[in-house]
């Protein structure tokens, strides 16, 4: 099982968008059984008396615009509630993906410096530097979608190209011999960025 945790400040916009974009990618490739994907917050701004806020309505609308969170592709969007990242998450997840530099600082503080190198910044997987655009301040969910989508597709590509994870999915023998996510595997070419 490949376990991925996406993290942002409040867990109602960026990290939730990343969670459901990644779930959609995995779902379309029929690889759900190999992945466990969640998202969480570094702060309790959106958690009240132990109850987290739902996905921020404009973020949910942007997901629906791309066919995620719709009745025929719900993926758990309606049930999602913000939750706080805990120290125990470090042992539970293989990839812990922060959306911006502040998230990375908070995560490394929480996880005592990331001794197993599990913490990554989202846009590392999109082959560019910087932070995922925060729509809470900009109101621009298009930029956030682009950043999260590029990062998720890049992360998915990195996982498929890593023999360790490919072996978990049971088809590692020709890992070096395929392009564009492995035509030999019958993977569906969706809107994957070609970098």
Residue owning tokens 């498929």: 160
**Given 14, 60, 83, 157, which residue is catalytic?**
14
Q: Decide if 183 is catalytic.
A: no
User: Of 8, 13, 148, 152, which one is the catalytic site residue?
Assistant: 8
As a whole number of Å, the CA-based R_g of the chain is 16
CA angle 192–2–177, rounded 5-degree value: 55
Residue 13 a catalytic site member = no
Given 100, 106, 134, 150, which residue is catalytic?
134
Q: Which of 126, 120, 99 is nearest to 43 (CA)?
A: 99
Identify whether 128 is a catalytic site residue: no
User: Pairing between strand 51-52 and 47-48?
Assistant: antiparallel
Angle 181-185-189 from CA coordinates, rounded to 5°: 45
Give the phi and the psi of residue 93 in degrees, each rounded to 5: -120, 150
Contact 132, 151 (CB under 8 A): yes
Q: Which residues are catalytic?
A: 8, 14, 134
């Amino acid at each position: 099982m490949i376990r991925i945790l996406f993290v942002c400040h409040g867990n109602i916009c960026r990290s939730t968008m990343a969670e459901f974009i990644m779930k959609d990618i995995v779902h379309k490739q029929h690889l759900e059984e190999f992945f466990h994907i969640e998202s969480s917050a570094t702060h309790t701004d959106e958690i009240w008396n132990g109850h987290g806020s739902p996905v921020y309505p404009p973020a949910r609308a942007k997901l629906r615009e791309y066919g995620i969170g719709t009745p025929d592709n719900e993926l758990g969007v309606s049930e999602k509630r913000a939750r706080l990242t805990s120290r125990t998450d470090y042992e539970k997840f293989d990839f812990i993906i922060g959306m911006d530099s502040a998230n990375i600082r908070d995560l490394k503080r929480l996880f005592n410096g990331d001794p197993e190198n599990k913490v990554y910044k989202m846009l590392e997987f999109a082959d560019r530097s910087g932070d995922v655009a925060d729509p809470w301040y900009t109101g621009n969910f298009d930029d956030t979608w682009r950043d999260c989508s590029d990062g998720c597709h890049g992360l998915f590509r990195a996982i498929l190209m890593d023999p360790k994870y490919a072996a978990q999915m049971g088809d590692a023998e020709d890992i070096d011999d395929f392009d564009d996510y492995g035509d030999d595997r019958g993977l569906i070419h969706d809107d994957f960025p070609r970098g």
